[in-house]
Amino acid sequence: MRNDPTFRLTRRGFTSVALAASAAFALPLPAAAALDVAEARTLIDKAVADVNRIISSGRSEQQMFGDFERLFVTYADVPVIARSALGVAARSASPDQLKAFTKAYQGYLARKYGRRFREFIGGKIEVTDAKPIKSYYEVISTATLKGEAPFDLRWHVSDKSGRNLFFNIIIEGVNMLASERTEIGAMLDQNGGDVDKLIAALKKL
């Protein structure tokens, strides 16, 4: 993704950043029998509290990178997210390539957030509701940025991987899976379909 010094974290800008952050989550899921609505909401309450803590910490962007990467690993189903973002290429990638891509991808997302969240200082995200949706749970929150009207931010939570984790984020009706897969797919095309080159490119961004 190109670094744009004129980027502003307006509602449109936040949507674009968040499309990177979650990426790849809306896969068909089995019934989440052990997970209930209260647990789903608790997970996102904790994730949101950590997001708000990071953006209000006063730490430098470089220091935020590690914080956001740890947040993804703690609350998001990163292997599923990364595999879905890689798309069809994940089927032919070796286990070592998938592992390396997942690691590079989570770092890429952390840096992508870290570079832009300074403009989120003074804003906040607040969980307002949660409900079951088919085989997963949707936790509803409201994001408020400085100088912007509040907007809808929804988190999809499942225990498919053996832990309660979020696997999708929807912002004002925009599903992040398609946007992220398109972006990573374009980057893969730019690197001649070579997953190893894509991994190297992600590490530089």
Domain residue spans in the chain? 11-204
Strand pairing category for 165-171 and 174-175: antiparallel
DSSP designation for 71: H
Residue 142 has φ and ψ, to the nearest 5°, of -120, 130
pLDDT at residue number 25: 43
pLDDT at residue number 171: 79
DSSP designation for 162: S
Could you read off the pLDDT tens digit of each residue along the chain, which spans 205 residues?
A: 444 443 344 555 555 455 544 444 444 444 444 689 999 999 999 999 998 899 888 888 888 899 999 999 999 999 988 999 999 999 999 999 999 999 999 999 888 766 766 666 788 889 999 999 988 999 999 988 888 888 898 999 999 999 999 988 887 887 877 788 999 999 999 999 999 999 999 999 9
pLDDT at residue number 76: 93
pLDDT at residue number 147: 82
Q: Quick check: pTM over 0.95?
A: no
pLDDT at residue number 24: 40
Q: Is 135 exposed, middle or buried (0-12, 13-18, 19+ CB in 10 A)?
A: middle
Contact in structure between 172 and 15 (CB atoms under 8 Å) = yes
**Which of these, 134, 140, 69, 142, lies nearest to 107 by C-alpha position?**
69
At the topology level, CATH places domain 11-204 in Nuclear Transport Factor 2; Chain: A, (3.10.450)
Listing from the earlier edge strand, what are the strands of the sheet with 124-133?
Answer: 124-133, 136-144, 151-158, 165-171, 174-175
